[in-house]
Amino acid sequence: MKGRARLTAAGGAGLIGLVLVLATACTGQESGDAQSAGGDRDGGDTVEVRISPQDGAGQVAPNTPVTIEAPDAAVTDVRIEQSGGAADGSGQDADQDAASSGSGDGSEDGSAASEVTGTLSDDETTWVSDWNLTPGSDVTVTAAAERDDGEQTEVTSEFSTEPATEGKRLELQSNFPTSGQSVGVGMPVIVNFDLPVENKAQVENSMEVTSETPVDGAWNWFGDETAVFRPKEYWEPYQHVTVDLRLAGVEASDGVYGIENHRLDFDVAREQISTIADSEHTMTVERDGESIKTFPISNGRADVRKYTTTSGVHLTMDKHEDLVMDSSTMGIPVDSPEGYKLDVDYAVRFSNSGEFTHAAPWNGRLGQSNESHGCTNMSDADAKWFYDESLMGDPLVISGTDRQLEVDNGWGYWQRPWDEWMANSATGEADTTDGEGTPGGVHAEEA
């Protein structure tokens, strides 16, 4: 899809986003596969323009491409209007909360996530839509073309798309981060769906990540319902990232269609990377390349695997000013000799196997030995500082233990080397976050 000229077709409630304004408005229309309009003022041949799907068509699969062909002219303008349908053609803000997902008022301009761009052929005679259509919508396509002799024409095709049926509507269940958040340089884009996805390449190609500083990145799947995008290296700090989830009309599985588009906007903040050398019992925090803090800590005592702090590239996930830590969540009954139930302060999660940094005023061996059940113990003051200064997605790199963080333990996605990450992408191609489209197609004929 990348590297070819485009005309933009507006996909909102009205005909907007004109690319070229025609000097004349000589129009006409015939129904069928080809609509011809206009003509030479001296009685010459009309300028032929064909639109597919054809005028009057019904139950068109929403992942059918819109194609404009002008065999003897240049396509100069395409406008697409979608009304009704699953999402009424409007772009929605992505949201972490499944109950409110899609309840926002759209992207910054209210419709950019649903903008139906298209790719123009090198000779400018053919235009093909880049994205799918909204299921169950009434679609009006208006196309204009101009011949070398200056003759112009404009034709229209009106058709309707097949609706997404109950139980076969792919929807966004949750996402991380959420719009408006500031995150660390290691933050991936995590998208959770409510139904399994089989056509993973088409769904990957429907989700476009754009950053102010373009980088290579790719999606991986963890199960059939979770897609994760991460760049090859950490994000450059101090920049804005936009994720357009153009899910409307994508056929996720046989007969299962996405019903809404979403836009997610977030900011990558300062670069804060923390490191822990397990044997040294210290944590060092670097910000924008400079060391700013060193803390005494105490990691897992490591007499058994479950009490061993994991080594690897972790990301800070969430944080709690106060948190009850219950050993039963790790399969250890509270009333057993090894059981515990503690109230801890300033807890910052860095895996899903019960690992947090947190205040541990009872631990008198900070900076001297590892005494915990796997967490990183800190003093009250140090734990509060780290809690206050941490953002979701900050890297926390731990080394020196014999237990490695699994790639699917929390957000251990940086544990997968880039070549393996690429090998696990359904498209098999890196996606450069330059706003020039995704690596492949999203339509049925491109499967």
Q: CATH no. for residue 196? A: 2.60.40.3710
218-232, 236-250, 320-334, 419-433: which range is least confident on average? 320-334
Does some domain include residue 208? yes
CATH code of residue 310:
2.40.440.10
Q: Do 155 and 213 sit in the same domain of this protein?
A: no
Please check the confidence at residue 12 and state whether its pLDDT lies above 70: no
Please check the confidence at residue 192 and state whether its pLDDT lies above 90: yes
**What tokens were used for 347?**
């807890």
- Note down the domain range covering 292: 272-390
Arithmetic mean of pLDDT over the chain: 86
CATH code of residue 116:
2.60.40.3780
Please compute the mean of the pLDDT values over residues 96-104 and round it to a whole number: 32
- The closest of 186, 138, 136 to 163, measured between CA atoms, is 136
Please compute the mean of the pLDDT values over residues 58-75 and round it to a whole number: 97
Please compute the mean of the pLDDT values over residues 116-128 and round it to a whole number: 95
Q: Which of 281, 373, 375, 443 is catalytic?
A: 375
pLDDT at 21: 28
Q: Do 192 and 221 sit in the same domain of this protein?
A: yes
Q: Do 29 and 99 sit in the same domain of this protein?
A: yes
pLDDT at 291: 98
26 is catalytic: no
Q: Do 309 and 385 sit in the same domain of this protein?
A: yes
E strand spans, 41-151: 47-52, 67-69, 74-84, 91-93, 116-120, 126-129, 137-146
Measured CA to CA in angstroms, residue 361 lies from 52, 206, 350, 364 at distances of 70, 49, 20, 7
Q: Do 51 and 145 sit in the same domain of this protein?
A: yes
User: pLDDT band at residue 231, thresholds of 50, 70 and 90?
Assistant: very high
Query: What's the whole-model pTM score?
Result: 0.86
Does some domain include residue 26? yes
Please check the confidence at residue 1 and state whether its pLDDT lies above 70: no
Please check the confidence at residue 343 and state whether its pLDDT lies above 70: yes
Q: Do 152 and 228 sit in the same domain of this protein?
A: no
358 is catalytic: yes
**What is the total count of domains within the chain?**
3
pLDDT at 113: 60
Does some domain include residue 399? no
Does some domain include residue 413? no
DSSP string, 281-349: TEEEEEETTEEEEEEE-B-B--SSGGGSPPBEEEE---EEEEEEEEGGGGT--TTSTT--EEEEEEEEE
Does some domain include residue 363? yes
Does some domain include residue 134? yes
- The closest of 320, 367, 364, 328 to 344, measured between CA atoms, is 320
| CA pair distance 147, 129, nearest whole angstrom | 22
| CA pair distance 112, 108, nearest whole angstrom | 8
Q: Do 95 and 73 sit in the same domain of this protein?
A: yes
Q: Do 153 and 11 sit in the same domain of this protein?
A: yes
Please check the confidence at residue 248 and state whether its pLDDT lies above 50: yes
pLDDT at 340: 72
Does some domain include residue 411? no
pLDDT at 331: 73
Structural domain ending residue among the three candidates 348, 371, 390: 390
Q: Please check whether residue 152 is in contact with residue 27, taking contact to mean a CB–CB distance below 8 angstroms.
A: no
Q: Please check whether residue 245 is in contact with residue 191, taking contact to mean a CB–CB distance below 8 angstroms.
A: yes
pLDDT at 271: 98
Please compute the mean of the pLDDT values over residues 266-273 and round it to a whole number: 98
| CA pair distance 104, 81, nearest whole angstrom | 21
Answer with the residue of higher pLDDT: 98 or 114: 114
Counting residues of the chain whose pLDDT is more than 90, the rounded percentage is 76
Helix (H, G, I), strand (E, B) or coil at 257: strand
Q: Do 10 and 156 sit in the same domain of this protein?
A: yes
Does some domain include residue 396? no
**What tokens were used for 353?**
């196997």
Structural domain ending residue among the three candidates 160, 191, 220: 160
Please compute the mean of the pLDDT values over residues 290-295 and round it to a whole number: 98
Q: Which of 262, 281, 314, 358 is catalytic?
A: 358
Please check the confidence at residue 230 and state whether its pLDDT lies above 90: yes
